[in-house]
Each structure stands twice: as C-alpha cells, then as structure tokens.
Structure 1
Amino acid sequence: MSRAPGLEKTSHLQGTNTNLDEAVKFLQEYDLEASETCLRVTSAQWAYSTNMTDLNKRRMVEAQTHRARFDKVTWARAAAFDWTKLHDGKVRRQLRMLTTNTRACLSDEKYNEIYHLISEMKDTYAHVRICPFRRSDVDESLYCDLELDPDVQRIMAQSRDNMELTHVWRQWHDKVGPQLKNKFMRYVDLANQAARVNGFSDAGEEMRYMYEDPNFENEVAESFQKLLPLYKQLLTYVRRKLLQRYGSSIIRPDGPLPAHILGNLWAQEWSNIADIVLPYPEYRDFDVSDEMLHQGFTPLRMFQMAEEFFTSIGLKPMPPEFWRHSMLERPNGRKAQCTASAWDFCNKVDFRIKQCTEVNMENLVTIHHEMAHVEYYMYYADQPYLYRDGANPGFHEGIANSITLSVLNPIHLRLVGLFNNNTELYETNINFLLIMALKKVAYAPFAYLVDQWRYQIFESGVRKMNSEWWDLRLRLQGVVPPVPRSESHFDAAAKRHIPADIPYIRYYVALLLEFQIHEAMCDAAGYNGPLHVCDVYRSREAGRLLTDVLKVGKARHWKDVLKMLTNGNSNRLSADAMLDYFEPLMAWLKDQNKNERIIGWTTYKEDTALFQPLVYGSANRHLTSHSVVIFVMIVKWIL
C-alpha cells in the first residue's frame, strides 16, 4: 500500500552546513532577490499579455530564462544546508520548501532540457488549429483555422449536433495528443530523475509533498468517496435528459456518458447543457445580464460593485495602482490575452486584474473572483516571499470561489438591485441548485482524477498512458470517448495543464475549500438557514474571519488555517459543507431518479473496448500501488 510522504524527506545531495546564522542570512538575501526577480518576470509577462508583440514576447522569454537560472542558483545555495539539523522551525521549513518540488537539482543540461520541453509543449498546444465540421464534401469555403478559445469551446458549448460535436472532439484530441506524446514521455523521465535526486520515489510523490501532510492522499480520497452518491444521482438525471435529446444510439440508458455531448471539450463541467436538463425552464431567468444592460452598467461600474462587496465586509479597497494599471477592457489597436487573471507584482504595492470585460452576469461574478485573489495578495504582502501564497496550493482558488458563492445566488442579486423575481419559489431554487451542481458537482471527479492519472504515469511508466487515462475517467467519472482510442493517441494532453506541467489536484482541494470557507463565513455572520442562499455581503464578522485567514498566507500550515476557520472544530479537508449546500437538490434528484434501475453507471465490454482494443486478462492487468490506495477506498461506490 502506497503511503503519502512524510516531512522527513531529504535530498540525495543534502548539504552539511548546520550554521543557523548563515542560513538566516541566506534566506534574507533570497527574500530580496526573489521579490526583485518576481517583479521583473511579472512585469514582462504583463507587458506581453496586454500587448502581444514579438518584442514583448522576447523580453518575457528573457525574463523567464533569468528566473530559471536564479532558481537553479537558489537551489544549490539552499541545498548546501542540512536543514534537518537546524533548530529553528521557520528556517527549517523555508529551506525545505526551496529544496523540494524543483527540477533545479538536475544537471545544467537536463535542467535546460526539461525547461525547454515544457515551453515547447505549451507553445505547440497554443498553436493547434482544427478544421470545422463540413456538412458536405463540396463545401470548399471552410479553412482549418479554429482556435481553442473561442472557436472550439463555443462549438462544444452551443452545438447540439452529434456529428459536429464528434468531429470537433476528435479533431482537437487527434491534433494535440500525438504530436506531444514523445515530448511528454521524455518530460516524465526527467521529472522522475529530479524527484529521485530530491529524495522521492517519483515525481508524483514529490507533487503530493507540497501539501506537507502525510495523510493528504487519504483525506482527499475519503472526501471523494463522500461526494460520489451525489455525483451519481446527478449523472443519472442528466443521462436521462440526454437520452431524450440524443437517443439510445448515442447513449445507453444505464451506461456512462459520451464525453462530447456534455457542453465542454473535456466534459469537466456541464453547465452549458442547462438548456437540455433544466427541470423548470419557465423559472430559469435569474441571469441578470439583461438587467445590467438595462441599468447602463459599464466595466468600470462592475469593478466598483465588486470592490464595494469587499469593503462592505471590512476588507481593503483596491489601491490607486490597481485602478491606474489594470486592464479592465479589451484594448483597441493591439492584441491581448483576454483570459481573466489577477496579478501580484511582488513589490507590496502593485496589484492588478487583466480582463476583457463584457457587461454580463458571468463577467460580474468573475470580477468578484479575481478581486478576491487581489485581496489575498494585499493581506499577505508583508510576509516573507516564500509565504506570499495560499496556505496550500488550493487555498487561493478556494477563497476566490467562496466569495462567488455569496455573489452568485438570487438573494444577493436581489439585494443589489439586479434580480426582481421571487427568490423563495421552490422551482427557482431547484433550477439554481441544478445549475450550480452542473458547475461544481460534475467537476469533482475530473478535478480529482487528472492527477491520479499523472501519479500513475510517474509511478508505473508511460506504456499505457491513454488506456489508463480513459480507465480512470470511466471508473471515477462515468465518461467514455465518443470514438475508439488507442495508444497512438494521447488524450490527457488535450487538457493544457498536462503538457504545461501544472498540478491539478489543487482544483479539487479548492472545490472542497470553497464550500468549507463559505460555511465558516456564514457561521461567523450568524446565518442560520439553507447554505445555498447564504450571502455574507455587509457582514463585518465574516470579513474579520476572512481577514485573519488572508493575513497568514503560507506562514502557517494549512491545517492550522482550517482550524482558524472552524473555530478549532476541524483541520481536515471535508466534503460535508458541499453536501450541505446541495442537500435540497440531493433530495430532489433522489425523487426524480426513483424509477431508475441503475443510479450511476454500469460498465460493459463495449465501454472498455473503446480505449482497450485488446482486452487485458486479469493476470496481465497492472495496477500501481498508488492506484490500489485509491480504488480500494472507493470500489464500493464505483462498481
């Protein structure tokens, strides 16, 4: 049985210096140099993101290359110390952070190789273009120039044509995966080499080590087990609606869901098919976009409304630099990356948001989300550089999303004058909860399984990357590819986080945390009612609790931060708050599904044959020790 790592790991190249004064001096120097390097790199990235010229791209690459060299020098200096023998706990923790979860321990040649491999994979991904669906062979006017954003994602969200959806899904996966496969296999090899130098068995173990908790893996597995009954009820209801829309030739009444008809290229969240599955469409209209336009909202007014939310609970207003330097609208006369994002320039005064804002409810919610990140940046700005981050890798997203749970509900929208309909109608609440479940509950298995797959690859090798990807998606998510796949494909790479070397379990952790934080703030506000309609707007008590958490950054263990949130009642990641939030929907789904023979999905050979052309015998079927941990804990829910 594979166990999550403890905190005693040391590098194979661990140094011998145990002089505490020298270690403190090194960390002080690092704090200054790292902040300056961060400012330089972030400024270059901002310049390119808001004005995508070749010159700005070259400057960004130069700054990133400088940071890579700085990281390598930093690792060498930190690794000269034997932090396990230093008596100061803060110094010991900071040195441990600098000498783990880094590839800087590799030789210069291999370090440069993995750095460039990741850059090449990201660049290849960004330049993929696919052909549109041709409705006839004589249509010669169509060019193969569809980009992921917005073209591919728009088609997957809006089309209800099975043939078009299948075509676009296949085109994207076929164009991305095969050309990245060999590079990714080499990346896996180098990442594992770096992990072993750092004292780990493989790169997956090193990834989990970031959470500084030997029980982390079991904790998230237990929470996923708790969420599965709700997910299975949701899947069963959605499948019935899709069956009515597409027919039994596309979807089996008791089977898994085809990945291409769920409104999302990766089938990771299903809110785009609300028009198919919403139970009470006549009560649907709580999208306040039209009302915002009617009231003459502008992007600036939307940002001011978000700022007022935070100041109403006692948090800081945005500083002058924010309003002076942020990009709040799509610029004229130049190309810019429009993905909304919050920026910390690491100098304790400059914080910004980049967003090509359109006047609609979705953008209003996004602004609150991004501004929550900025609040986090401002509150932990006085911490040492290493502690200017979320308490764990999921905390930033968890806090930002917890704010949107207050904003994105009919009660709050009515309070701020944007929603005039009755918010107490049963049908309105079920519609609202179902849409939230399509966003949140449907996302849970995907957010959980991406890194479960990555851990398997790091541990057991790259021989069956594609079949293992779809095996996990079938077992944990109940999703299958719409067309047969083989090991010549590499479908995991269709999700950018895989080739871009971005850990994904943080998004599952953030999902749990957003509901835990929301519940804690509602408790602090004295709220006592259904969690899904709680709004902490204007609650100074909720704001004080949140402020205490934000100030800490990463200076304390995230388990201690969870204790702060729960008044000492718990320090565990838990699905309980999320289940409380969706409790009324769970009761409704059970009633809707009461005549269903199967709650969840059954798996037949025809499902596994889609990605395992040769059926493996049980004697040849290989499960990694990591997989055993996961599957033993959830088998009673999956099979």
Structure 2
Amino acid sequence: MKFAPQIDAQFVTVVVAVLGALAEEVEGITDARLVQGTNVNLGEALQFLREFDIEASRICFRVSSARWTYSTNMTDFNKRRMIEEQTLQAKFDKLSWKRAVSFDWTRLPDPMVRRQLKQLITNSRASLTDEKYNEIYHLISEMKDIYSHIRICPFNSAERLYCDLELEPDVTRIMSNSRNHLELAHIWREWHDKVGPPMKNKFMRYVQIANQAARMNGFLDAGEEMRYVYDDPEFEIEISESWKRLQPLYKELFTYVRRKLLQAYGPNIVRQEGPLPAHLLGNLWAQDWSKIIDLVAPYPEYRSVDITDEMLRQGFTPLRMFQMAEEFYTSLGLKPMPPEFWRFSMTDKPNDRKVQCTASAWDFCNKIDYRIKQCTEVNMEDLISTHHEMAHIQYYLYYSEQPYLFRDGANPGFHEGVANAISLSVFNPVHLHRVGLFNENTDTYETNINFLMLMALRKVAFAPFALLVDAWRYEIFQNGVQNMNSAWWELRLRYQGIIPPIPRTESHFDAAAKRHIPADIPYMKYYIALLLEFQIHNSMCFAAGHVGTLHTCDIYRSREAGRVLSDLFKVGKARHWKEVLKMLTRGQSERISADAMLQYFQPLLLWLKVQNKNESVVGWMTNLEEEALFQPFLFGGGVNHATDFSFVLFMLITVKLM
C-alpha cells in the first residue's frame, strides 16, 4: 500500500523560486514566436479591424440565429442550416487570420490595435492547410454527434430491449437518485463503454492535427497554446499554489464523505482508508456530490435549504421566476432586461417540438438581441439557474459598446465566475429568508453547517475535477496518445481519490464521457471560474458593508455591490484580466487565489476536522488492486513510479521555459 501523493512544501518553494526567477525571461518568448508579418501601417490595421468588427458581428448574428433556431426546434432542416452558417463562419475566421498575420502587430504603436490583432492571431487553427482545417473541424463535429446520440440500456433486465436512456434526463436522474450500487455501476459502465470507443481513433487524429496547428502558430504543442489564452507567465504557479491551499479542505471533505458512504454501502464496496468508486457520488463524472446530501447531511433532522415546496405553495410560474431575477439585478442598480429579451427568450419547454433544454444565455452580437433558453420548472434549482443565466446577459449588456473582439469576459473564467458569484448571494438562507421563501431560523449553527456541507459538495468536490480535465489534455498533447485511459485514471486517483467501479483497459476512452473533451472545449476556465466566484463575491460583500461570515453575505439591494459589478462588466476583454482583478480587489491583488473560497468554508473546515479526528487517514491510501483497475500491467511489473508526479511537477515540465 502507499499513501496518495502529497505536494511537498519544500519542493513547491523551490519550483516557485525557479519559475519566479525565470518569469522575465519567459515573458515575451511566446510573443516572439507568434506568427506575424511585415506590415506596420497603423492606418491599414485600423481599417482592417473596423471591417472585421462589422463583418464578424454580422456573421455572429447569423450563426447565433441559426443555432437558436435549431436548439429551439431540432429538425434536420434546421440542423443543416446551422451547419451551413457555422461552415461559413469557419471560412471567415480563416480569412481573417490570414489578413491579421500580414501585420507585424508587435511594432504597431496603438495598444488596443496590438491587443486585437494578437487576439485574432492566437488560439486559431487557421494556419492549417484547407484540407486539415476542414478535417479537424469535421472530426470535432463527428465526435459531438456521436456523443449526442448515445443511448444506453436500463438496469432492469426485463426492460433491456428498450435501450433508449439519454444522458438528460435519464442517466442524470438515475445517478442522482438511485442508491442501488449495482444499478449505478451498470449505468456508469453502459455510458462509458458506449461513448468512448467509437470516438477514440477520431480523437487521436484530432490530437495530431491540433498539435500541428499549434506548432505552426509558434507553440510547442496544443496544450501550451490553450494555456497561452491567459497571457500570464505566472499562470501555472498560481494554479499550483491555489490547489495546494485547497487540498486540505478537499481531503477533510473526502474523508467525511467516505465514512458516510461506508456506512451506507458497506466495506465490500467502500474501503475504509481507500479511494472512492466513481459511481457512488451522485454524478456520472463524480464532479458534483450534492445529490448524495441525503446520505451525508451533518444534521439531517434540520430542514434543508430547499424552497421548491414553498415556491409551489406561493404559486410561482417560470415568468415570475424570471421577473424575480430581473428585480434582483435592478435592486443593485443594474440594467433591466430589454424588450427583445422578453419577446424572444424561451422560458418554458414547448410541447409541440423537440428542443435542447440545457439552460444558456445568448448574445446575438447586434447590441439589441439577448435571450435565455431554459426549460424552466418551478423549483429551487431553476430559480438559481435563472439568476445565473441573467448574470451573463448583464455582462453582455454592459460590454456591448466594446469592439467585437473585446465583447467577452476578461479571461475565459470570468463569465462563469461572475454568474456563480451572483448565485452565492441567491442560493443563501439569508437571501431566501429576505424574499420570503425560507421561513426557518437562519442563525442556527446546525442550519449553517448543513448549508455549507451542501455547498462544499458542489464547489469543493468540483475543484480537483475542474483542474485535472485539462491537466490530462495537456499531458496528451505533450506526451502523445499512448495509454490515454490509464493517464486519465491516474490523474483522477491522484487529485480526486476516485477509481473506476470496474476494470478499465486502453480499449476504453473514459475521458470522452465528459462532453468537453470530444467537443474541444477547454476546461481550465471552470477551475479559474471557481476561484474567481469567491473572489468576486468577497469584493461585492466588502462593498456592500457585509459584517459576519462570508457564506451569510447577501448583496441584494446593494448599489455599492452593483457598482463593483458594472465596473467589471464594462471593461469586457479590453484590458488584461490581471488589471481587472486588481480593480475588483481595490488594488490589493491581481492574482488568482483560493483565499476567499477558504474563508467562505472556514466554519465547515473546523467542523470537519472535529468529525475526522479519529480517522487514521485523512485523504486516501491506494493499494495495488485499486491501481490495477486501470493499469492491469501493475500485477506483473509493480508500481509505475515514473508517472507518480505531483501537479506542481506536472506544471513545471509543461511551463513555457523553452
């Protein structure tokens, strides 16, 4: 047996010192390698950007309209139209890239012009030949299509002739609600076995072409190009330090949850000091553990913060939920929703056609039309989701006067970070009491610990998963596609303490069970957003004059908190995200930090330490049998110590030092 790898504090100090000393050398190296031309005519660059802004906005409107039409009426005809518009956009992006790289943007005197051209040039695969550009575009489309058409068989053998279970809502509902470990293992296996193998070869080819594009753009591999979007030589250091700070809280939560699952399922399913099987945590990917709150609630005799029954009693409708969300934002001094929002948004699930129900906020790029698509049901989850999606709309409204390239969050994590920060005030016993939906006493210790436990199952449990998805992807881009599946489970074991419920081999491709992998969607932004949401929440609470523990802060009706948000919103992407973060924190810090998140969960951490004081292991110990679930060769060759690195070491070898 061996302990799960720990991050050695002295090693981290050495790494940080080395990287800090090299920071000046690192900064600018990638810029110098980026593709650039010889044209230094500022007037021509300005004219190109003006033309790009007009045309890009027009094409964005066409694509968004086609996507909306298909998402709200999923016919073959609408799908073909959407694909046609997306293909047109891909061609436009390629032509725009070719024009942008004709300029030597590093020598142009206008910083806004340099910033826009740099944005156009980087993170683009337009450097590929037309043949390979089209190939990778179609590979991603084919993998997404495979994913969306997966149907699996139910656990009940009498019903297995009808293998028609979809991810939403069927698989999600079973994984959330079933407490039969055999059924959970069956559903987990069915999904992973059917989704991964059909797209494995396509993904391997995708990796090859993505790396070719990155190298043509001046990067070592596609992983380095993905990280470059953060434009920060200290990015890897800050990520490492934040996870080092969060690990103790995660391990305390993990240890407590394991004890509760051991009580529920017994030692044959959950080992007392071991990692946790992935199928028992209420979620297909074991990334959100909140659905098992019934098994792990600290004080089950106290009422949970679920206001669904009260909403139904008060006669809530989807329209009233959207009006309530709008009133939350106008109480902060922010903008009401425009008329087009109320006219065109889809707030209810229609009965006459097939629609895509995933909640989403839409910017149609014409500075007029903003919408939300949500199959709203009257329950607490959808009330929170409504506030969350409307936060995105607020962001769209405030940066709408920026040039097209600056109409986005300051970095890829800001949009989600802001929307989640708002949710921290909305999903909050104090706020729900203020708006008449939670009539229990919000001051009791037991109520607060129950609430913090539920939040930790959502947020703290998500942190290592949010981190490892792209850590795996970076490793694949850097080291190749051999042993992809064992590499995936090594990271899951190392950071989450999660193992597969059944043996896995390299014929499987379990990372593809998460849609973001085949869909070519970066995932590090969700880890950044997780940290940002607490930093933003902390700043708004300070502005609102909140006194007390951070988890009780409600910014409702605070114009001061609203000014913090509007100032952040207006900037969009026009300034470097570190400047925006410095503005947000009143000049105190420009670093991504876990401090605010730890402050939020401090009362729960103290409680967990008391609960775990008699545990022999806080965290997990791994035995050979558990590792052999995804590395069968270990029985013959012993532990592969060559792969036993900490996240800091992994980041060290991938940081841009060449």
Compute the TM-score of the two structures, normalised by the length of structure 1. Answer: 0.96
Question: Deviation string for 1:61-86 (max 9, x for gaps)?
Answer: 11000000000100100011111222
d(CA) in 2 for partners of 1:582 and 1:251?
26
d(CA) in 1 for partners of 2:388 and 2:27?
34
Hey, what does 2:97 align to over in structure 1? 75
Hey, what does 1:59 align to over in structure 2? 81
Deviation of the 1:10 alpha carbon: 4.8
User: Given residue 607 of structure 2, which amino acid in structure 1 is its aligned partner?
Assistant: W
Hey, what does 2:627 align to over in structure 1? 608
Distance 1:630 1:618, change over 3 A: farther
Hey, what does 1:200 align to over in structure 2? 219
Hey, what does 2:292 align to over in structure 1? 273
1:495 aligns with 2:514: yes
Hey, what does 1:294 align to over in structure 2? 313
The secondary structure found in structure 1 opposite 2:622 is coil
Hey, what does 2:399 align to over in structure 1? 380
Distance 1:230 1:533, change over 3 A: same
- Report 1:408-419 matches (<5 A): 408-419=427-438
1:45 aligns with 2:64: no
Q: Choose from 111, 116, 119 the match for 2:141.
A: 119
d(CA) in 2 for partners of 1:523 and 1:468?
43
Given that 2:35 and 2:121 are in contact with CA atoms closer than 8 Å, whether structure 1 keeps it comes out as no
Given that 1:455 and 1:626 are in contact with CA atoms closer than 8 Å, whether structure 2 keeps it comes out as no
User: Given residue 54 of structure 2, which amino acid in structure 1 is its aligned partner?
Assistant: L
Hey, what does 2:126 align to over in structure 1? 104
Question: Deviation string for 1:551-579 (max 9, x for gaps)?
Answer: 00000111011111111000000000000
Hey, what does 1:143 align to over in structure 2? 162
Hey, what does 2:583 align to over in structure 1? 564
Hey, what does 2:9 align to over in structure 1? none
User: Given residue 275 of structure 2, which amino acid in structure 1 is its aligned partner?
Assistant: P
d(CA) in 1 for partners of 2:251 and 2:295?
18
Question: Deviation string for 1:281-321 (max 9, x for gaps)?
Answer: 12133211111111111110000000000000100000001
- Report 1:584-599 matches (<5 A): 584-599=603-618
Question: Deviation string for 1:144-194 (max 9, x for gaps)?
Answer: 111111111111111111111111101110101111100000000000000
Hey, what does 2:649 align to over in structure 1? 628
Distance 1:297 1:108, change over 3 A: same
Q: Choose from 87, 105, 126 the match for 2:109.
A: 87
Compute the TM-score of the two structures, normalised by the length of structure 2. Answer: 0.93
The secondary structure found in structure 2 opposite 1:32 is helix
Give the gaps of 5 or more residues in structure 2. Answer: 1-14
Deviation of the 1:218 alpha carbon: 1.2
Hey, what does 2:281 align to over in structure 1? 262
1:355 aligns with 2:377: no
Question: Deviation string for 1:459-506 (max 9, x for gaps)?
Answer: 000001001100000011100000011111110000000000000000
Distance 1:619 1:60, change over 3 A: closer
Given that 1:11 and 1:197 are in contact with CA atoms closer than 8 Å, whether structure 2 keeps it comes out as no
User: Given residue 642 of structure 2, which amino acid in structure 1 is its aligned partner?
Assistant: R
The secondary structure found in structure 2 opposite 1:281 is coil
- Report 1:463-478 matches (<5 A): 463-478=482-497
Hey, what does 2:207 align to over in structure 1? 188
Given that 2:413 and 2:529 are in contact with CA atoms closer than 8 Å, whether structure 1 keeps it comes out as yes
Deviation of the 1:217 alpha carbon: 1.2
- Report 1:319-338 matches (<5 A): 319-338=338-357
The secondary structure found in structure 1 opposite 2:642 is coil
Deviation of the 1:134 alpha carbon: 3.0
Question: Deviation string for 1:518-568 (max 9, x for gaps)?
Answer: 000000001121000100000000001111000000001110111111110
1:543 aligns with 2:565: no
d(CA) in 1 for partners of 2:373 and 2:91?
28
**Which stretch shows the higher mean deviation, 447-456 or 81-90?**
81-90
Hey, what does 1:438 align to over in structure 2? 457
d(CA) in 1 for partners of 2:32 and 2:121?
8
Deviation of the 1:623 alpha carbon: 7.6
d(CA) in 1 for partners of 2:126 and 2:641?
38
User: Given residue 621 of structure 1, which amino acid in structure 2 is its aligned partner?
Assistant: A
Deviation of the 1:19 alpha carbon: 1.3
Q: Choose from 175, 181, 184 the match for 1:156.
A: 175
d(CA) in 2 for partners of 1:601 and 1:350?
51
Given that 1:16 and 1:81 are in contact with CA atoms closer than 8 Å, whether structure 2 keeps it comes out as yes
The secondary structure found in structure 2 opposite 1:129 is coil
d(CA) in 1 for partners of 2:651 and 2:368?
44
Deviation of the 1:625 alpha carbon: 11
Q: Choose from 153, 162, 165 the match for 1:131.
A: 153
Hey, what does 2:272 align to over in structure 1? 253
Given that 1:11 and 1:99 are in contact with CA atoms closer than 8 Å, whether structure 2 keeps it comes out as no
Given that 1:388 and 1:554 are in contact with CA atoms closer than 8 Å, whether structure 2 keeps it comes out as yes
Question: Deviation string for 1:326-383 (max 9, x for gaps)?
Answer: 0010112111111110000000111000011100111000000000000000000000
Deviation of the 1:13 alpha carbon: 4.8
Give the gaps of 5 or more residues in structure 1. Answer: 634-639
Hey, what does 2:599 align to over in structure 1? 580
Hey, what does 1:507 align to over in structure 2? 526
Deviation of the 1:93 alpha carbon: 1.5
Distance 1:228 1:211, change over 3 A: same
User: Given residue 154 of structure 2, which amino acid in structure 1 is its aligned partner?
Assistant: P
**Which stretch shows the higher mean deviation, 621-630 or 534-543?**
621-630
User: Given residue 310 of structure 1, which amino acid in structure 2 is its aligned partner?
Assistant: Y
Hey, what does 2:361 align to over in structure 1? 342
1:457 aligns with 2:479: no
Question: Deviation string for 1:431-474 (max 9, x for gaps)?
Answer: 00000000000000000110000000000000010011000000
User: Given residue 113 of structure 2, which amino acid in structure 1 is its aligned partner?
Assistant: V
User: Given residue 604 of structure 1, which amino acid in structure 2 is its aligned partner?
Assistant: N
d(CA) in 2 for partners of 1:56 and 1:624?
48
d(CA) in 1 for partners of 2:380 and 2:566?
27
Given that 1:549 and 1:565 are in contact with CA atoms closer than 8 Å, whether structure 2 keeps it comes out as yes
User: Given residue 459 of structure 2, which amino acid in structure 1 is its aligned partner?
Assistant: K
d(CA) in 1 for partners of 2:260 and 2:166?
30
d(CA) in 1 for partners of 2:100 and 2:490?
41
Given that 1:411 and 1:423 are in contact with CA atoms closer than 8 Å, whether structure 2 keeps it comes out as yes
Provide the aligned length of Structure 1 versus Structure 2. 630
Given that 1:460 and 1:624 are in contact with CA atoms closer than 8 Å, whether structure 2 keeps it comes out as no
d(CA) in 1 for partners of 2:500 and 2:31?
40
Given that 1:152 and 1:168 are in contact with CA atoms closer than 8 Å, whether structure 2 keeps it comes out as yes
* Backbone CA RMSD of aligned residues: 1.8
Hey, what does 1:221 align to over in structure 2? 240
Deviation of the 1:20 alpha carbon: 1.4
d(CA) in 1 for partners of 2:647 and 2:252?
28
Hey, what does 2:38 align to over in structure 1? 16
d(CA) in 1 for partners of 2:640 and 2:559?
61
Hey, what does 1:31 align to over in structure 2? 53
Given that 2:240 and 2:647 are in contact with CA atoms closer than 8 Å, whether structure 1 keeps it comes out as no
d(CA) in 2 for partners of 1:632 and 1:593?
35
1:165 aligns with 2:149: no
